[in-house]
Amino acid sequence: MERDMRDSFSQTSHAPRMQRLQSSYVALMKNAQLWNTSLNSAFQVIALNCTQALNVSRASIWFLTDKHELECQVLFDADESKISRGMRLRATDFPSYFDAIEHHRILDANNALTDSRTLEFTEPYLKPLNIHAMLDASFRYEGKTEGVICFEQVGQPRLWSQHECNYAISISDLIAQLRIFYALKDSETRYRLLYEQCGDGVFIIKNHQVIDCNQTALTLFGYCKDRLLGSSLDSLSPAYQPDGQLSKGKAYELGEQALHGHEQSTEWLHKREDGSLFYVSLKLNRLELNEEIHLIATLHNIDSLKIAQEKVLELNSLRQAIFDSARYSIISTDPNGIILTFNKAAENLLGYTANEMIQRKTPQIIHKASEVVERAKELSTMLEREIQPGFEVFVTRCKELQSEDREWTYIHKDGHEIPVLLSVTALRDVDQHITGYLGIAYDITERKNAESALLASQKELEYRASHDSLTGLANRTQLHTDAFLALQEARNNKHLAALMLLDLDRFKEVNDTLGHHTGDLLLKALGEKLSSVLNSQQAILYRLGGDEFAILMPSISHKDQACTVAKMATQCVRQPFIIEGITLELGGSIGIALFPADGDDSHELLRCADVAMYSAKSQSSGVVVYQTYLDAHSPRRLKLMADLSKAIRDNQLSLYYQPRIDIQTQACVGCEALLRWNHPTLGNIPPAEFIPLAEMSDIIHSLSLWVIETAIQQIKGFAALGINLPIAVNLSARNLIDVSLPSIIQKLLIDHNITAELLEIEITESAFISDPERAETVVGDISQLGIRLAIDDFGTGYSSLSYLKRLPIHTLKVDRSFVADMLSNEQDAAIVRSTIGLAHSFGLNVVAEGVEDQATLYQLSLNNCNQAQGFSICKPLPVKQFIAWLGQHSTRDYSLCYEI
């Protein structure tokens, strides 16, 4: 049977149950009802789908309140097709259950009526509803349990599989994401209200087309929303702008500049639905929404400002009256920047009186005022150079206005800065000589504050969703995000990554003795010190909750690198911490999982790291790297152990047969029986997975007897077909210390009237270690029956010439690990040659295992090896196919054809 462990690589484990759960989870994630309705509706969809996916009777979602109660948000009863909510459970009534969901992600009560965690529910809840099994998964935020999703099995207990537990945890994570999503969605609603009530028109633009706008924009243009959506800036404008440029070309150029991150501010002439024209101060900025690039355009109506400018130019006699009555700050200067006029709005805005400012220079009130003047001069020159024939109307208007709008900063009399939207116009005489400049400014402090508040709120929400509120470290959500990107890069670049889980020792004593305040200060100090150490090693620290931390190393060259960093982390944890004058000492246990060996995603790596961490804690070893044997008590293995006895009784097992040929004649001289298990729900189980489980218990005895008896029956079946072919079976170490085994085999041979020489027993060298004297006695008794014996895997165990001398061995089988590389590895070739020579000197038959190609078979023939088996000859086959193979090869010419 140990032969089955080595052939397990050729078997494929099918898991339709796992695939169905994965498909259910993916379908849920893509279900639009989860994201486009309400949180309660989303919970109903989850409960309905999960009862179907897990085939349970009831599914419910509960929130943990500030009163230490669980409040039911939704409960779906599949048997009654009924949805309800509102029930409450108090922690004081069910302390064991509340403690379980507080400290563990999963509660898998296979028999809820006896499980200590759910026993409190028996009389008030489980028995009245006939509930026998519960699978609960808690969902968390910033390390704190916020609720639980519960699946209930009615009528009988149920052994929950690892895949079902993982599915429940994934659903709980989905619920946590939905809570954050709808919280953000509510925030977006508030920001949408601010967006709609903004005094300026706002467009959201994608691919140069308006995809959204606020009410102010609709009022500004006089259009209904359907008419505006899909439009472009140029389609809402006259053909030409006042500077003579085509609206279409200029709009495209401004949009492209903004898309590249260069903010664009300009004056723009638009057209209303009734055909009337109006000016706006246009501002374009790049905006990322849902990972796609957009533009946000703000349009401030400056028609009245333009009219004021024109009136100033056309009606000098009314200039001061307009200045004084305008809502905007209006300041005019001579060509050298000496202030000539200063209106009431400017006085109110800047805190100066007109008498204080007239005949003074502008720099004391306008930040970088000289740049404003120079820019206005450049604009005038450029405008004259760009005059085109046939556009006299536009040229005349440009010559008169020649202005530019941009955000600027004014300096108040008391020194504080005022953000303004500033329009500067060059004033000219009849000969087009510049006589001065006119600056009209609009206070945009309120708008800038709103923009800053909006940006700050968005950043705060994003930060809170991805960071621990106590330590400021990235949280579990951010860990999975970072790990996804890191593993993707590791996969592409074919390097290793490591995920570690750190659990503090003695932290609970600090909390219980000195209180949570001291514990919180200790966690913050530890987080700072650990981050400092890990950052220097290109490792990232996360707090998952409580005293549990994770460490991600996105790129490592060897697992020893991860072990070194883990030891540095444990040393850092062990250093004394002084908290409010008290010296505190901790310990830490770290489990390490490696990508890709231990998992393909962050969830699986975290699970493996958790297994390793608990091993480190139980062994007090500080650091443990995950190994598969640490998972010996996983739900799948427990299920296989429980199902194996039933598999023997219910004929779920079968034997496959691999032929063994004489190398010189190519004739089939025997075969080896290899065990297979086709589980009714889990599919084909690899021998390497279930045989070690059998060897851990007394099941190995009944399993071995089944194999021996089935092989004897097949020998008889072969004989009925005229095939006298020996069959070899494997015995384990535990079989060789069973002194009753020889007599049982003898009885089977007699009952089936089979010649003993047609049964061959294969044993490994390591089988003699535990009790060599008893094993030799059992082997001797088996040999006395006339059964041929073979040493399997010779050279890989505790090889000793004394075995060959003392034991009644007929055949020696050279292990495949030496045969596979004998053509390319001289050491392996020497081992094979010496083993063949040694066996022949003892008069033993030699069989080479794992022969994968004809060249190897040819070399074995040159080394005088007697027999061979392997995939190049034939893979293990079910009995019918094996008999067919024998029929095809019984009359063929098997002379070897080699290219030398």
Residues 576-634 have pLDDT tens digits of 999 888 888 888 999 999 999 888 899 889 988 988 888 788 677 789 998 876 765 56
Q: Closest by alpha carbon to 591, among 633, 563, 557?
A: 563
With the C-alpha atoms ordered 332, 333, 335, 337, is the resulting torsion angle positive or negative? negative
Whether 660 and 847 have beta carbons less than 8 Å apart is answered as yes
Whether 105 and 114 have beta carbons less than 8 Å apart is answered as no
Cα–Cα distance, 227 to 248 (Å, whole number) = 19
pLDDT at 208 over 90: no
Higher pLDDT, 413 or 630: 413
Backbone angles phi, psi at 97, to 5 degrees: -65, -45
Cα–Cα distance, 712 to 874 (Å, whole number) = 22
Neighbours of 253 (CB within 10 A): 12
Neighbours of 80 (CB within 10 A): 10
Cis peptide before 808 (omega within 30 of 0): no
Q: What is the band of 751 on the pLDDT scale with cuts at 50, 70, 90?
A: very high
Q: What is the four-CA torsion angle of 679, 683, 689, 691, rounded to 10 degrees?
A: 30
Pairing of strands 788-794, 811-814: parallel
Q: What is the band of 811 on the pLDDT scale with cuts at 50, 70, 90?
A: very high
505-555 pLDDT tens trace: 888 888 877 888 898 999 999 999 999 999 989 999 999 888 899 999 999
Q: What is the band of 99 on the pLDDT scale with cuts at 50, 70, 90?
A: very high
Q: Closest by alpha carbon to 299, among 327, 255, 273, 266?
A: 266
* Chain position carrying tokens 């309400």: 38
> In one letter, which amino acid is 548?
E
For residue 209, how many C-alpha atoms fall within 13 Å in the half-sphere facing its CB? 7
Q: Is 555 helix (H, G, I), strand (E, B) or coil?
A: strand
pLDDT at 376 over 50: no
Q: Which residues contact 269 (CB under 8 A, 6 or more apart)?
A: 237, 238, 241, 242, 247, 277, 278, 279
Task: Report pLDDT for 261.
Answer: 86
Neighbours of 577 (CB within 10 A): 16
Q: What mean pLDDT is predicted for residues 140-144? A: 79
Task: Report pLDDT for 372.
Answer: 47
Which of 509-513, 684-688, 796-800 is least confident? 796-800
Quick one: tokens of 338? 């000496």
Pairing of strands 845-848, 811-814: parallel
Alpha-carbon 300 to chain mean position: 45
pLDDT at 670 over 80: yes
Q: What is the four-CA torsion angle of 612, 613, 616, 622, rounded to 10 degrees?
A: 120
Whether 820 and 868 have beta carbons less than 8 Å apart is answered as no
Which of 238-242, 364-368, 687-691 is least confident? 364-368
Pairing of strands 131-141, 144-154: antiparallel
| Size of the chain, expressed as the number of residues it contains | 900
pLDDT at 188 over 90: no
Residue 258 Rama label (left phi>0; alpha psi -120 to 50; beta): alpha
Task: Report pLDDT for 308.
Answer: 64
Q: What mean pLDDT is predicted for residues 763-768? A: 70
Q: Which residues contact 571 (CB under 8 A, 6 or more apart)?
A: none
Higher pLDDT, 358 or 284: 284
Q: What is the band of 379 on the pLDDT scale with cuts at 50, 70, 90?
A: very low
Q: Closest by alpha carbon to 806, among 847, 845, 835, 773?
A: 773
What b/e sequence results for 859-870 when a residue is b if at least 16 CB atoms lie within 10 Å of its CB, and e otherwise?
bbeebebbbbbb
Cα–Cα distance, 227 to 112 (Å, whole number) = 62
Whether 340 and 330 have beta carbons less than 8 Å apart is answered as no
Task: Report pLDDT for 176.
Answer: 84
Task: Report pLDDT for 152.
Answer: 95
251-297 pLDDT tens trace: 899 989 988 888 998 889 988 888 889 898 889 998 887 678 888 88
424-456 pLDDT tens trace: 777 777 777 778 777 788 788 887 777 777 666
Task: Report pLDDT for 720.
Answer: 92
The CA distances from residue 327 to 305, 345, 349, 357, 443, in Å, are: 9, 6, 10, 19, 10
pLDDT at 663 over 80: yes
Q: What is the band of 685 on the pLDDT scale with cuts at 50, 70, 90?
A: confident
Cα–Cα distance, 115 to 97 (Å, whole number) = 10
Which of 226-230, 356-360, 379-383, 879-883 is least confident? 379-383
Q: Which residues contact 276 (CB under 8 A, 6 or more apart)?
A: none
Helices within 721-771 (DSSP H only): 741-752
Q: Which residues contact 387 (CB under 8 A, 6 or more apart)?
A: 244, 395
Residue ranges of domains in the chain, CATH in brackets: 31-190 (3.30.450.40), 198-301 (3.30.450.20), 304-449 (3.30.450.20), 468-631 (3.30.70.270), 636-883 (3.20.20.450)
Q: What is the band of 567 on the pLDDT scale with cuts at 50, 70, 90?
A: very high
Neighbours of 689 (CB within 10 A): 18
Check residue 373 and report its DSSP letter. H
Task: List, in sequence order, every beta strand (DSSP E) within 215-276.
Answer: 264-271
Task: Report pLDDT for 395.
Answer: 27
Longest CA span, the chain? 133
Q: What mean pLDDT is predicted for residues 317-336? A: 69
Helices within 278-391 (DSSP H only): 303-314, 319-325, 344-350, 354-357, 369-385
Which of 448-452, 494-498, 827-831 is least confident? 448-452
* Percent residues over pLDDT 70 in the chain: 84
Task: Report pLDDT for 634.
Answer: 60
Task: Report pLDDT for 386.
Answer: 36
> In one letter, which amino acid is 416?
H
Q: Which long-range contacts (CB under 8 A, 24 or more apart) does 348-351 make?
A: 349/410, 349/412, 349/418, 349/420, 349/441, 349/443, 350/410, 350/411, 350/412, 350/413, 350/418, 351/412, 351/413, 351/414
Q: What is the four-CA torsion angle of 834, 839, 840, 845, rounded to 10 degrees?
A: -130
Q: What mean pLDDT is predicted for residues 333-359? A: 82
Task: Output the average pLDDT for the chain.
Answer: 82
The CA distances from residue 824 to 68, 325, 791, in Å, are: 68, 98, 26
Cα–Cα distance, 635 to 754 (Å, whole number) = 42
pLDDT at 6 over 50: no
Task: Report pLDDT for 562.
Answer: 93
pLDDT at 355 over 80: yes
Task: Report pLDDT for 893.
Answer: 35
pLDDT at 713 over 70: yes
Residue 282 Rama label (left phi>0; alpha psi -120 to 50; beta): beta
Q: Closest by alpha carbon to 413, among 464, 347, 491?
A: 347
Check residue 122 and report its DSSP letter. I
Task: Report pLDDT for 855.
Answer: 92
Task: Report pLDDT for 767.
Answer: 66
Q: What mean pLDDT is predicted for residues 86-95? A: 91
Task: Report pLDDT for 392.
Answer: 29
Higher pLDDT, 32 or 142: 32
Q: What mean pLDDT is predicted for residues 700-715? A: 93
Task: Report pLDDT for 312.
Answer: 54
Q: Closest by alpha carbon to 579, among 641, 508, 524?
A: 524
Backbone angles phi, psi at 443, to 5 degrees: -70, 120
For residue 506, how many C-alpha atoms fall within 13 Å in the half-sphere facing its CB? 10
Task: Report pLDDT for 899.
Answer: 26
> In one letter, which amino acid is 751?
D
With the C-alpha atoms ordered 29, 32, 36, 40, is the resulting torsion angle positive or negative? negative
